[in-house]
Amino acid sequence: MSDQISTTAEAQEASALPSARVVLAEPGGRPTAEVVPLPPELAEQPIEEKSPAQWAYERLVLYIQNFEEQLDDEHEVAMGFTGGDVGVLQIEGLGYYAPDIVTFYGKDEEGARTQLIQHVTQLNVMLVAMPKDEAKQEPRRIGFRLAAGLRKEKGPSAGS
């Protein structure tokens, strides 16, 4: 119990903030997604109003963007599959279908079009640094495109 008195607005704001924590073997490195403040557009809608798929999607966007910030210009983000030896998916898109499905779009290591559809209760993602397409001058930064989409999006949309 605390002796601190909060206004109703402060109490509501505090209840909407996610709980996150990280402990690293080598402290002092780049900030991780758990310690970076939520962008205002994500904090606007209370967590209780978000479907598990939407909340998982939004946090995945933040993790991908944070991972990409640490890559050099020769690498792009890809996703390794957990729970099996099925390879790597180079992430080209990410979506969700409320209330409980998250979808990854991309290409596998041979360039074949790939889509992973996953229930949020089974969500396991390993982000991998993959060499960029040599034919392209700049690496693709999907995390920043996804984050821009979060700023524009006020509700479900298709084809953004």
Q: How far apart are alpha carbons 107 and 91 in whole angstroms? A: 7
- Residue 90 exposed, middle or buried by CB count within 10 Å (0-12, 13-18, 19+): buried
Q: pLDDT for 41-78, tens place per residue?
A: 888 888 889 999 999 999 999 989 988 998 999 998 98
Please tell me whether the peptide bond between 46 and the residue prior to it is cis, using omega within 30 degrees of 0.
no
Q: pLDDT for 69-104, tens place per residue?
A: 989 999 989 888 766 666 888 888 888 989 999 988
Q: pLDDT for 114-146, tens place per residue?
A: 888 889 998 888 888 988 888 888 888 888 778
